[in-house]
């Protein structure tokens, strides 16, 4: 253990976390619209619309999680390497 973190290290970590959350949310929004576009702009039945929206929510959630994990985990791998 190296001791307490400096203010600059804490600030850098905060910026990394906010960056991960914002870019993850943007990616999730794009994925949701891309996958749900047939349901949003098409003439589908209720069952089909529900299926597309469920698939879109799943893709958006997976994309958000992937982006946040990648952004927050990758710098640790580079620092070790």
- pLDDT for the residue numbered 59: 98
- pLDDT for the residue numbered 40: 84
Residue 76 tokens, joined: 């640790």
Place of tokens 């003439």: 43
Tell me the mean pLDDT in the region 16-31: 97
- pLDDT for the residue numbered 77: 59
Q: How far is CA 66 from CA 9, 25, 27, 45, 78, in A?
A: 24, 11, 10, 31, 18
d(CA 59, CA 14): 27
> pLDDT digit string (tens) for 40-77?
888 888 899 999 999 999 999 999 999 999 999 876 65
> pLDDT digit string (tens) for 4-22?
888 988 898 899 999 999 9
Half-sphere exposure for 34 (CA within 13 Å, toward CB): 10
């Amino acid at each position: 253990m190296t001791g307490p973190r400096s203010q600059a290290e804490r600030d850098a970590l905060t910026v990394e976390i906010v960056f991960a959350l914002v870019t993850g949310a943007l990616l999730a929004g794009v994925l949701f619209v891309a996958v749900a576009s047939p349901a949003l702009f098409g003439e589908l039945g209720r069952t089909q619309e529900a299926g597309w929206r469920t698939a879109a929510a799943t893709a958006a959630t997976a994309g958000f999680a992937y982006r946040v994990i990648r952004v927050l985990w990758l710098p640790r791998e580079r620092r070790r390497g």
